[in-house]
Amino acid sequence: MEILLQQIINGLVLGSMYALVALGYTMVYGIINLINFAHGEVLMVGALTSWTIIGLMRDAWPTSPGWLVLFVALIISCVVASVLNFVIEKVAYRPLRNSPKLAPLITAIGMSILLQTLAMIIWKPNYKPYPTLLPSAPLQIGGAVITPTQILILGLTAVSLAVLMWLVNYTKLGRAMRATAENPRVAALMGVKPDMVISATFVIGAVLATIAGVMYASNYGTVQHTMGFLPGLKAFTAAVFGGIGNLAGAVVGGILLGLIESIGSGYIGVLTGGVFGSNYSDIFAFIVLIIILTLRPSGLLGERVADRA
């Protein structure tokens, strides 16, 4: 039971990060029907930017508290990633908005490779240790352990999701998002500016991805220019799992995928008689994707146009 409880905690932490990134995918798809495959690289740029800011702050103010350094690095990284995603939408996607579906898809893949290459040039290809800024002493919960960083991840995810749901459902921008998602031309006739709404959606997605990236780096203790590819792909799987275009579906899909991956990696050795180890945990995400696409292509919760944002 201790092992199961530990894997559930790990799965909730992992699923929380997947959910944040999956929301970026599902928001963009809900409004312009585009899968932004460069979204994982926005996560990577946010994490690497925070690593740089932390290094600069530690050199300039070596006695500053760790939580303050992490907070400042997170804010600056969110701004950098938001500007980057805004530029990506304006330069790479907006000119292709009325093109055949294949054109923006190929552009998104090309943008992903371009961002990886630029990050490799700027930050070099080697793995970099991410500083431990929060207390490392774990807390005991029924025989399992959880670190302060993991508690922060769960708390930040809950707050981010609550703020996003409030933004989408109760603000003028949220109403404009829902209107644009349902019918951009009619929304424009009613005074909504679709271009502004789409840009805002990309900015919000970048903020969520950066939060996930910084927390991912803090939890696993390393950053590198390819770190966003696999989490981005799994977050896309989570979005499809829950129902692409559905905000609640992205959250449910992310949490469930994290739990499936974590529990599966904890028991895969037992189930296969030691043939496979926990390093095969990545296969669970794509097994889930194949099953969902085969049995329920619309995802667990399906796509609800009114909630696409």
For the chain, which domains are there?
Answer: 1-125+143-295 (1.10.3470)
pTM score, two decimals?
0.90
pLDDT average, residue stretch 277-286: 72
Within 10 Å of residue 294's Cβ, how many Cβ atoms? 8
Residue 238 has pLDDT above 80, yes or no: yes
- Which of 75, 76, 74, 69 has the alpha carbon at shortest distance from 54? 69
Token duo for residue 109? 């893949």
- 158-162, 183-187, 272-276: which has the highest mean pLDDT? 158-162
Does residue 115 contact residue 45 with C-beta atoms inside 8 Å? yes
Element (H, E) at 204: helix 194-220
Token duo for residue 46? 């946010």
Q: How confident is the model at residue 140 (pLDDT cuts 50, 70, 90)?
A: confident
pLDDT average, residue stretch 41-48: 95
